[in-house]
Amino acid sequence: MENLEEVIVRTQFSADFQFSTVKKLTVLSNNSISITRAQYLEEIVLPTDVDNIYTFQDKILYNKNKTAIICYLNTKTDKEFTVPSGVSIISNNAFAYNNKIEKITINGHVQLGSQAFAYMKKLKEVVLNISPDKGNKEVTLSRVLASQLFLSCDNLKTVTFQTDFYTTIGSDAFQYCESLKTISLPKSVKVIGESVFDHCLELKEIDLSNVISIGSYAFSSCINLKNVELSTNLRSINSETFYNCTSLKSITIPDNVLSVGSSVFEECSNLKEITFSRNVVDLPSKLFAKTNLKEFTIYQNVRSIKVDTFLDIPDLDLKLENDNHPIFSIVDKFLMNKIKGEIICYFSKLQDVLVLPNETRIITDNFYSHELKENQFYKEEYGILVVKVPESVDTNKYSFGSSIYHQVCIQGFYYQDYNIRNSRESVSDNYIFDKYKGYYSNYRICNETVPEYAKYRLINKTTPIEISMSVIIAVCAAVIIALLVVYFILRKKSAN
């Protein structure tokens, strides 16, 4: 509340002082209190005639015997803080939102609470020297580094573990630590939780050689991560672990890895090489989507591949370990389930005319493994014109629902939408197209010529080169017209 400077508490109290100017808090009971974002709070008064459970000293609120830090006031101006030797607990949110401290050192037998140091905008360095052999043995230390412990510490650059104590890094522990450059995990760490290093934008390398499990989103959007060393004992990699790691160029997945989640490497746009575990049997949705993989080998024991596992990879050379794979075959750049006669995906460059293999009986929904991108135009730069389908195919209209098709020909018949000239719904942001909607045509032909009306592009999608050329032509035309005008004026004057 604006201009309120003092609060008196008589009962259990929990408050977020984000928009408050309170400078003084008086506690008149022995009930627990919780304080966060008290940017202006300077004093906590604990009357001596009350059997209080707290001690307030030097702008730090402790429990009564000073073994736990409850709250560290933001009005304390120290830039460095070392946890006192008698302290064995740092409570949840104890230092959260502090904007003064730049370095924290924690020694001995200390249990850290969730978000204890979250949102500390000035924090640059952390030293963790945790040891169960020193301090208050009555407090049981967890070997899990608390969740969201350093969440959104924007300027945190260095974290040093001086002991091999923790076995698990809790979820979101360093999430959005956008400046974090250096962290050496203890050899004791075996598990990385969900989103632990999510959006650590400056993190360039990390040694995971002792880790056996990595949680979802653990390194998502670590856009400068270049080097990752995985443990030969790693068993699983969960979904989106390395999503959008755009600097990652190569990686080795050890053979002991038995399962990987969806989108693990999606949007790793510079990932060109991968040595993949021979023991993963399911290749899930978008596992390598929008990477830059040059080649990938499908091993004999692979049993499942999704239609979008290799989505939108421009120059992928997909191979089978052996031609006698029990389930899959590759025919003219089509990956097929040969048992079902099903097309899973087409992984070559875009074609004007796409002829489906005669072995085809089933077409997976949206099997064409490319996505349209902004400012890429119909025919000239992107898009199939015609898809020819064998008569044996049990067609699924959703397989041809993509806007990249002009027409779908089935054994000489073709489907066509006749309403393109009149329907705004059939005009995309990028180009105009004939979209398959399930109408039969009576023509026994497959017209491979794109009609003129399907070639026109919206003016706001003209390329920069075309715009430049148009401007140059317009300027030249204006100059020529001006010269002609001057010429005729001078000629008229000379005639007079």
Residue 262 has pLDDT above 60, yes or no: yes
Confidence of residue 268 (pLDDT cuts 50, 70, 90): very high
378-409 CB burial, b ≥16 within 10 A, e <16: bbeebbbbbbbbeeebeeeeebbebbbbbbbb
- Any idea which residue has 């401007």 for tokens? 471
Confidence of residue 312 (pLDDT cuts 50, 70, 90): confident
Could you tell me which of 138, 194, 140, 131 has the C-alpha nearest to residue 168?
A: 194
Could you tell me which of 484, 404, 409 has the C-alpha nearest to residue 443?
A: 409
Confidence of residue 360 (pLDDT cuts 50, 70, 90): confident
pLDDT at 345: 86
The mean-pLDDT minimum among 131-135, 377-381, 487-491 falls in 377-381
Once rounded to an integer, what is the mean pLDDT over residues 7-35?
69
Q: What is the pLDDT of residues 71-107, one digit of tens each?
A: 999 889 999 999 998 999 999 999 999 999 999 999 9
pTM: 0.76
Measured between alpha carbons, how far is 329 from 339 in angstroms, rounded to an integer? 9
Once rounded to an integer, what is the mean pLDDT over residues 17-43?
72
Measured between alpha carbons, how far is 444 from 435 in angstroms, rounded to an integer? 19
Once rounded to an integer, what is the mean pLDDT over residues 65-69?
93
DSSP for 455-487 reads: T---GGG--HHHHHHHHHHHHHHHHHHHHHHHH
225 contacts 203 by C-beta, under 8 angstroms = yes
312-331 CB burial, b ≥16 within 10 A, e <16: bbeebebebeeeebebbbbe
Residue 31 has pLDDT above 70, yes or no: no
Confidence of residue 11 (pLDDT cuts 50, 70, 90): low
Once rounded to an integer, what is the mean pLDDT over residues 150-156?
98
Measured between alpha carbons, how far is 331 from 348 in angstroms, rounded to an integer? 11
Residue 371 has pLDDT above 70, yes or no: no
Assign 305 to helix, strand or coil.
strand
